[in-house]
């Protein structure tokens, strides 16, 4: 291939996205002359405060909520912790949580910590397409369920969960509903009232803002206590001087997403489907994960037959992508998400996640397909099952 002196083609937008030029331009003044503390009531502080509030409106507009329902955080992980722990630490009589077996560690770990504090956690399964079924949540709900936390879109498979139906069941039993929407916001329309959620987390670096900034939507009236303790910023829910440049960047990224969300989603889905058709035509037995069910428009999770996905990617340095496998003491283990879907380990070890983004072009899709085809047959011919373990599927 002729890509040796170039950067690899980036196919890992679900892991992180580049800071988009318009986002960087919006941020730069607040990294230079507009450096004031937004809590300061003088000519340096007031522009910073105005910029934070404008960004809050931009985030709220993308989620279709009120400005004062947005709380800025350091990212999706902090937003999830604030939502999950902030609800449960207020809960006295209700000490039960319902979540799923395919959540991100930013949800898994707060739930596990609460379990160590004598709360109870029920983890519902997913079906063969990787989706949480509302019936499973309904069965798991109890009279003492305080919180249901189910992600909106799965980061490895792209499965989009039936969250509105899940939320309706949860609310009927008096539970609060939280969703980790980090992978969904900016890729598909997200309307908090249509989803019927009370809390929603997002991460800036998943939608072309910098790493280290995120937000939590908190529906008015939702009981929540801060996890961090300090001053009274962000309505007392997230103390600490606001990260003005990054907040501005998040606002600009949300405004950018809102401008052409439907058209860009359609473009990426067309490219994703074209890539799948090229791979399916050239590699017999390649499997599409989650076929026939709602998925993110940019996400293609496939399993190469008879080889390990990590070996295919190691043989294709022209492409930057991820597998869902993990390495432990030299042994490679299949993605727990794929195993939870009932995919045999021998098949799941062949998984590769290809996630597209704003920078993906049609010409790149053709190169990626040819490169993966060549890499697959190279690995298959050489009989190599093992490869470099690539595990960042955040």
Model pLDDT, residue 384: 57
Three-state SS for 352? strand
Q: Could you give the angle at the alpha carbon of 309 between the alpha carbons of 1 and 301, nearest 5°?
A: 100
Residue range 242-295, pLDDT digits in tens: 999 999 999 999 999 999 999 999 999 999 999 999 999 999 999 999 999 999
Residue range 62-104, pLDDT digits in tens: 999 999 999 999 999 999 999 999 999 998 899 999 999 999 9
Model pLDDT, residue 389: 52
Which residues of the chain are under the pLDDT cut of 70?
Answer: 1-5, 325-331, 384-394
Model pLDDT, residue 3: 47
Angle between helices 244-259 and 45-63 (to 10 degrees): 30
* Closest C-alpha among 96, 84, 111 to residue 143: 96
- What architecture does CATH give domain 34-259? 3-Layer(aba) Sandwich (3.40)
Question: Which residues are known catalytic residues?
Answer: 327
Model pLDDT, residue 82: 98
- Whether the CB-CB separation of 330 and 301 falls below 8 Å is answered with no
Residue range 286-300, pLDDT digits in tens: 999 999 999 999 999
CATH 3.30.70.2740 fits 9-18+261-382, yes or no: no
257, 220, 161, 100: CA torsion to nearest 10: 130
Q: Domain map of the chain by residue range? A: 9-18+261-382, 34-259
CA–CA distance, 204 with 206 (Å, rounded to integer): 5
Listing DSSP states for 289-335 in one string gives: TTTTS-B-TTEEEEE-TTS-HHHHHHT-TTEE-B-S-EEETTEEE--
Instruction: Report the largest interatomic distance among the alpha carbons of the chain, rounded to a whole angstrom.
Output: 70
CA–CA distance, 230 with 38 (Å, rounded to integer): 16
Q: Could you give the angle at the alpha carbon of 343 between the alpha carbons of 339 and 344, nearest 5°?
A: 90
């Amino acid at each position: 291939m002729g890509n040796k002196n170039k950067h690899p083609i980036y196919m890992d937008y679900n892991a992180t996205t580049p800071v988009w030029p318009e986002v960087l331009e919006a941020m730069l003044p607040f990294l230079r002359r507009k450096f004031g503390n937004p809590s300061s009531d003088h000519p340096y502080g007031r522009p910073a405060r105005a910029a934070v509030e404008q960004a809050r409106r931009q985030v709220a507009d993308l989620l279709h909520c009120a400005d004062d329902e947005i709380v800025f955080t350091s990212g999706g992980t902090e937003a999830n912790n604030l939502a999950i722990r902030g609800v449960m630490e207020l809960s006295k009589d209700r000490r039960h949580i319902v979540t799923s077996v395919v959540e991100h560690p930013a949800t898994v770990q707060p739930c596990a910590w609460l379990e160590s504090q004598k709360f109870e956690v029920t983890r519902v399964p997913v079906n063969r397409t990787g989706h949480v079924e509302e019936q499973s949540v309904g069965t798991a709900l109890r009279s003492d369920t305080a919180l249901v936390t189910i992600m909106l879109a799965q980061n490895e498979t792209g499965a989009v969960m039936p969250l509105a139906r899940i939320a309706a069941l949860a609310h009927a039993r008096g539970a609060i509903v939280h969703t980790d929407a980090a992978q969904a916001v900016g890729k598909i329309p997200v309307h908090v009232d249509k989803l019927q959620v009370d809390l929603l987390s997002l991460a800036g670096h998943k939608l072309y803002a910098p790493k280290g900034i995120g937000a939590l939507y908190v529906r008015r009236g939702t009981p929540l206590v801060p996890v961090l303790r300090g001053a009274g910023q962000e309505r007392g829910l997230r103390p600490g001087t606001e990260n003005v440049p990054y907040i501005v960047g998040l606002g600009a990224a949300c405004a950018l997403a809102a401008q052409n969300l439907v058209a860009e989603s359609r473009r990426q889905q067309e490219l994703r489907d074209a890539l799948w058709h090229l791979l399916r035509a050239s590699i017999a037995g390649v499997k599409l994960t989650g076929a026939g069910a709602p998925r993110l428009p940019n996400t293609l999770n496939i399993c190469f037959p008879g080889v390990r996905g990590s070996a295919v990617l190691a043989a294709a340095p022209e492409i930057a992508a991820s597998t869902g496998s993990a390495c432990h003491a030299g042994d490679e283990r299949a993605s727990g998400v794929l195993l939870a879907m009932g995919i045999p380990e021998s098949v799941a070890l062949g998984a590769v996640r290809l996630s597209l983004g704003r920078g993906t072009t049609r010409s790149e899709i053709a190169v990626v397909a040819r490169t993966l085809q060549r890499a697959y047959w190279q690995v298959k011919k050489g009989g190599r099952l093992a490869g470099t373990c690539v595990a960042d599927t955040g």
